[in-house]
Structure 1
Amino acid sequence: MRQLVLNSYWVKTQYSRPDAQTGVNVTTLYDEIGYPLTVQNVTTKPGLLSPIHNHGTWGVIFQIRGEERHTFWRRVNPAEKPLQIEPVGEHLLGPGEILSLHPDAIHQVETVGQKISLTFQFYGDTQPKSRFQFEPETQTARRF
């Protein structure tokens, strides 16, 4: 992953500025129907805080520019209360760093600092039926 991003002019230049209203822009670089692989560059504006969510698949994130704080959550009692979650830690991802996510990972992302964040993201099978946005206060989740 590091070798690909650092040595690829194309990967580092295929993006758009974050949308003025949402603060995010996703540039899909590869997404083939029926093939479990999605490759994208994502830009986010400074101060943006994502909802708490999962991806429902494995993922690898390479921070090209800017910084992101990833706060990780876990299910408190998956068998009895699968939607009850609690924070378990965080990681500040800086330029040149890589973060990998397992299929059960739940996280929230905040763009920190004054720079736009640009990440190269590589995911397995991204099915909407397995992606959720979590609300810890109400112990609910909805499709994301």
Structure 2
Amino acid sequence: MEPEVYPIAALAADLRRLCAEIADEHELLAAIRPLARRSALDRNSWFEERMNFPDTQQGFSVYRLHEEADHSLAILAVSWLPHRGTPPHDHGTWGVVTGVDGLERNDFYRRLDDRSRPGYAEIKCTASRIFGPGEVLTMSTGLIHSVHNDTNHLSLSLHIYGHHLNYTGRSQFDPEQRREIPFLLKLATE
């Protein structure tokens, strides 16, 4: 059975409507979950061959599928090389991630310090979750996680954020050095 066609433009329109109608972040994330899954299952409407070749230096590539002019909403595809991932980081906004191909491990962290010292952060890993095609992960503003592709195969996921990540002031964390530094995405060229 073929998945229902649900192009990125339709997803973006539905997201704009939901963001205007729902003020509570948890309710908003719950409303976005089925839309994210629906769009991920219709990968043929947005997948490009270049997504099979992530940046080898970075270990992953980020592809912009949609972004509002004021950066208030972003839909991205991220392809992950085998055995690569990200350091722990936050998003500075809410996020919804849906598995498209392959498996990804998310490790979740809790911040232990009081945030009073700029550039300093103590975090502790509290949970892990592996998710795959069609599975949806929602993340509230402030959540800290890392992503890893522990397999021997490329993985691909669809990401929806309340704001484009390079405009949120987000951070990455070094748990061993107890550091917090800015974290900007390198986008794949279009």
Match for 1:5 among 24, 40, 52? Answer: 40
User: Compared with structure 1, are the counterparts of its residues 10 and 29 closer, same or farther at alpha carbon in structure 2 (3 Å cutoff)?
Assistant: same
C-alpha distance in 2 between matches for 1:124 and 1:27: 16
Cα 1:129–1:100 change in 2 (3 A) is closer
CA distance in 2, matches of 1:20, 1:139: 27
Distance 2:75 2:65 in 1: 5
Corresponding letter in the other structure for 1:100? T
Aligned to 1:131: 170
Counterpart of 1:96 in structure 2 is 134
1:104-115 matches, within 5 Å, as 104-115=142-153
TM-aligned CA distance change 1:66 to 1:2, over 3 Å: same
1-side partners of 2:59 and 2:43: how far apart? 26
Q: Match of 1:53, SS?
A: coil
2:91 equivalent to 1:49: no
CA RMSD of aligned residues (A): 1.8
Q: Answer yes or no: is 1:38 the counterpart of 2:74.
A: yes
Q: What is the rounded CA distance, in whole Å, between the counterparts of 2:60 and 2:71 in structure 1?
A: 25
TM-superposition CA deviations, 1:85-133 (whole Å, max 9, x none)? 1111010011111101111110111102121010000001235452101
Deviation of 1:77 after TM superposition, in Å, equals: 3.5
Per the alignment, in what secondary structure is the counterpart of residue 83 of structure 1? coil
Q: Which has the higher helix share?
A: 2
Instruction: Check the 8 A contact 2:59/2:85 in 1, yes or no.
Output: no
Alpha-carbon deviation of 1:78? 2.9
Q: Distance in 2 between matches of 1:96 and 1:33?
A: 29
Contact 2:43 2:100 in 1 (8 A): no
Distance 1:79 1:135 in 2: 15
Using the aligned pairs only, state the percent identity.
31
The amino acid across from 2:174 in the alignment is: E
> How many equivalent residue pairs?
143
On the 8 A contact 1:60/1:99 being kept in 2, the answer is: yes
Bigger Rg, which one: 2
Quote the Cα distance in structure 2 between the aligned partners of 1:80 and 1:138. 17
Distance in 2 separating the partners of 1:7 and 1:45: 22
What are the ranges of 5 or more consecutive residues in structure 2 without an aligned counterpart?
1-35, 184-190
